[in-house]
Each structure stands twice: as structure tokens, then as C-alpha cells.
Amino acid sequence: MESSNPRPPRPSPGPALSLDARLGVDTRLWAKVLFTALYALIFALGTAGNALSAHVVLKGRAGPPGRLRYHVLSLALSGLLLLLVSVPVELYNFVWFHYPWAFGDLGCRAYYFVRELCAYTTVLSVASLSAERCLAVCQPLRARRLLSPRRTRRLLSLVWAASLGLALPMAIIMGQKYELETAGGEPEPASRVCTVLVSRATLQVFIQVNVLVSFVLPLALTAFLNGVTVSHLVALCSQVPSTSAPGSPTPSHVELTSEERRTPPLGGQASLVRHKDSSRLRRLQHSVQVLRAIVAVYVVCWMPYHVRRLMYCYVSDDGWTGTLYNFYHYFYLVTNTLFYVSSAVTPVLYNVVSSSFRKLFLKALVSLCREHHRMEP
């Protein structure tokens, strides 16, 4: 499932063959160089972007704290943790040196646990944000009673706790084992790998449940909630006179750090029509567009990743031909690269759609650059 080396057709073992040849692994040098460059770029941009995003949310003081900022913080921390833990390990032990696994049994289990934890927290944070937006637009009176920054913090704490529980089985089914034996029947230390330890039947059940819970259901729910929200906003906008006539001011972008102040009045939908507050409606529409863009990014980046996992567990040992194995080996690298791209792209979306966030982001970046310049001799 998570290994880049299922059991392909292998040549007969012999002392003249290299370990990679005996185990059926052959990553070309051009691929190693290419994916090293891609991983380095993703790591640099993703860690910097998510770290600065978290800094902006924690240190930003422009307006009262809104609920949206806690979701942004959750997504930034999740992306940062994923990139810091997974990318260096994968670059070393899955791109350059396939054998032996260098981080021990505990490191193997922790590596895959962190990946699952970040995947669950990301998709559940997006779903919870979509639910809050839908409630705020469709039921403003109820949203006023139910939604508050304190409850959003509790909700996201529950998201992280649930993600910990959902990711725990990954730490159980993964582990370290040896692929080859010496002439004396002892495990060959150089053939140590980090891979699945359970039977194929157990793996198939686990993968199906995992793909359903960590990908299909949350994103389907998010897409449904965003559809309901957009439909409701379209209906409300149709009741508000257009302000797009020549000479009319263009509505501003969503102000991330003052999001609560800019949301529509929670005195009921009638107030929106009565006061003809189309600019506020358009700001809400813009915030929903952010969610739709995030969902699109995760579908594009995560679907190949989950397709590859299903492929791993449903192709039988006898079905791995040389051609299919070579395809899978490079498909593994491509899908994992896309998986990490999703964490690096999210801060870019925040900057594109929010002028307030972009100003604070650039201000924090300039401040850090000045501090670094002053520290240089």
C-alpha cells in the first residue's frame, strides 16, 4: 500500500547482482535528480508559506479575531507537520536509497502515522469550515447563537483528536521487516524495509475504509455544503439590486483577520435584502470561492494518491509484470509529489484571495528578511 516496492518479478538472486536488482528496485538517476529538485522546491515553498501563515494568524491584530483564522491555522500546522516529517524521510529512503530502511521500526510507524494524521486533519478542517460557512449564510440567526471563536477552537480540537484516533491504525499495520535472507537463513540487514505487516485481505479492508473516510466522504460533504451555500447566495443576490453599473466601486476581497466583522449582519436574511448590502454578499461569495478552490486542489492532488493505494492492494502478487511494476514505481513518486503539493499550494490560495492576509503575509516576510540582513556580519 504505502511501499514503493511491491513484489515485482525479480531475477534469481545471485552474489553478482546488486541489492536493488535482487529486490526489483531500479530508480533511474534522472528520476532521482528530477524528484529531488521537485521535493526541495515543494519543501522550501511549503514550509515557508505555512510557517508564515501560522505566524500571520497568531500575531495578526487587524480587527477582532474571526473564526476563519483558526481554520487557516489548523491547515497551516497540518501542512507544516506533513512537509517537515515526510519529505526528508521520503527523499532519503524512497527516492535515493531504497534499502535498508534507516529509521527503525518506530520511525517507520511514526512516519506513516504523521502522514495519515495530517491527511485527516486537513480534510476535516476544510469540511468543518464549509459547515460553518453554510450555517452562517443559510441560517444567520442560528449561526449567531451557535458560532463563536471559542466553539470553533473546540471544534478544531475535536478534529485533531479524531484525526489522532483515525490515524492510529496506520501505526499498527505498518512496520519494519526484512525482504531477504542470508545463506544461513538469517534476515539480511541490508534488505530492511518499511512496509505493510498485515495480510492482503486485512489490507484491502483497511484501504477501502481509509479512502472512504479520509477522502471520499469528507470532500463529498464539503462539495455538497459549498453547493448549498453558493445556491443560497445566488438566490439572495438576485433579490439585491446590482451594484456593478459603470462607476460603481468594486467590492473588496475577504478580509481574513477581520472576517467576523465583515460577515453579513446576523439579524436575518431579510436585512440583507432590506439594506441592499450586495457588497457584503459578494464578500461571502468570495470566501466560498476560497473553499471551492481548496477542495479542487485536494481532489486533483489527492485522487491519484488514493488510486495508487488501491492499485497496490488489489493487484495480486502474480499480477505484477515488469512493465506494470515499473509504471507503479514512478507513479508512486508522482502521486506522492502531488500529495505534498497540496500542502504547499494552500498558503498561495490565501494570498491570492485575501488582500488583508496578503498584506500581513508580505509584512511578516519583509520583517524576517530585515532581521536576517541585520544578523549578517
- Using a 10 angstrom Cβ sphere, with 0-12 exposed, 13-18 middle and 19 or more buried, the burial of residue 177 is middle
1: in domain: no
Q: Is residue 52 part of a domain?
A: yes
Find the domain containing 54 and state its range: 26-177+187-239+298-374
Q: What is the CATH number of the domain that holds 332?
A: 1.20.1070.10
pLDDT of residue 160: 95
pLDDT digit of tens for each residue in the chain (377 aa)? 455 455 544 444 444 445 555 555 667 888 889 999 999 999 998 998 888 888 777 776 543 345 677 888 888 899 999 999 999 998 888 888 877 888 888 999 999 999 999 999 998 988 888 888 788 778 777 777 777 778 888 889 999 999 999 999 999 999 888 877 777 777 777 778 888 888 888 888 898 899 999 899 988 888 888 888 877 777 766 665 544 444 444 444 334 444 444 444 444 444 444 444 556 566 666 666 766 777 788 888 899 999 998 888 888 777 777 788 888 888 888 999 999 998 888 777 766 655 656 666 666 666 666 665 555 55
pLDDT at residue 65, rounded to an integer = 44
Q: Is 174 helix (H, G, I), strand (E, B) or coil?
A: strand
Return the pLDDT at 94: 83
pTM of this prediction exceeds 0.85: no
- Look at residue 259 and tell me if it is in a domain: no
What is the per-residue pLDDT for 37? 94
Neighbours of 273 (CB within 10 A): 17
The answer to whether 39 and 90 are in contact (CB under 8 A) is yes
89 domain residue, yes or no = yes
Task: Count structural domains, the chain.
Answer: 1
Q: Distances in Å between the alpha carbon of 101 and those of 104, 107, 122?
A: 7, 9, 28
Cis peptide before 100 (omega within 30 of 0): yes
Burial 156-171 (b: 16+ CB within 10 A, else e): beebbeebeebbeebb
The verdict on residue 273 lying in a domain is no
Query: Which among 324, 138, 349 has a CA at the least distance from the CA of 236?
Result: 138
| Helix axes of 322-353 and 29-59: crossing angle, nearest 10 degrees | 30
Question: Does residue 253 lie in a domain region?
Answer: no
Question: Could you tell me the maximum CA-CA distance found in the chain, to the nearest angstrom?
Answer: 86
Amino acid 34: pLDDT: 92
Does the residue 317 lie in any domain? yes
Domain assignment present for 109: yes
